[in-house]
Chains A and B, each alone.
Chain A
Amino acid sequence: MPDCTSLTLDRHLAPAGASAESFARLWAGLWTQRRIPPDLLELCRLTFARLHDDAGEMAAANPAVALAAGQRDAVLAGQAPADPAYAAALLFAEYYWLDAQSITDEAADAVKAHYGEPGLVLLIEALGLIDGRIRTARCLRDLSAHTSAKEAAHV
Chain B
Amino acid sequence: MSDTPRVGTPGTQTGNTIRDSALGLVPETVSEIIALNGHVWNDTIVPPALLEIIRLRNARTVNCVFCKSVRYDVARADGLTEERADMIAPGYQDSALSEREKSAIALADCYLGFPAGIAPDLAPRIAAAFTREEIAAVLVALMTFNFTSRTAVSIGGMPEEPLPIIELSVSVTTD
Contacts and interface: CB of A to CB of B under 8 A. Distances in A.
A binds B: yes
A120 B7 contact: yes
A147 B120 CA distance: 8
B25 A118 contact: yes
B63 A13 contact: no
B69 interface: no
Interface of A: 12-23, 25-26, 29, 33, 35, 52-53, 96, 100-101, 103, 105, 108-109, 112, 117-118, 120-122, 124-125, 127-129, 131-136, 138-143, 145-147, 149-150
A14 B39 CA distance: 13
Contacts of B141: 19
Contact of B120 (A20, A21, A146): A146
Given A19-B40, A26-B32, A143-B126, A136 B7 contact: no
Contacts of A150: 123-124
Interface of B: 1-2, 6-8, 22-23, 25-26, 28-29, 32-33, 35-36, 39-40, 43-45, 62-63, 107, 110-112, 115-120, 123-124, 126-127, 132-133, 135-137, 139-144, 146-148, 150-151, 153-156
Nearest to A95: B154
B29 A29 contact: yes
Contacts, number: 172
Chain A contact residues: helix, strand, loop or mixed: helix
A121 to B, nearest CB: 5
A26 B148 CA distance: 13
A17 B137 contact: yes
Given A117-B25, A118-B25, A118-B26, 13 more contacts: A16-B133, A19-B140, A23-B144, A25-B32, A103-B1, A103-B2, A108-B156, A121-B22, A122-B26, A136-B142, A142-B120, A146-B120, A146-B123
A42 to B, nearest CB: 17
Given A118-B25, A118-B26, A121-B23, A138 B117 contact: yes
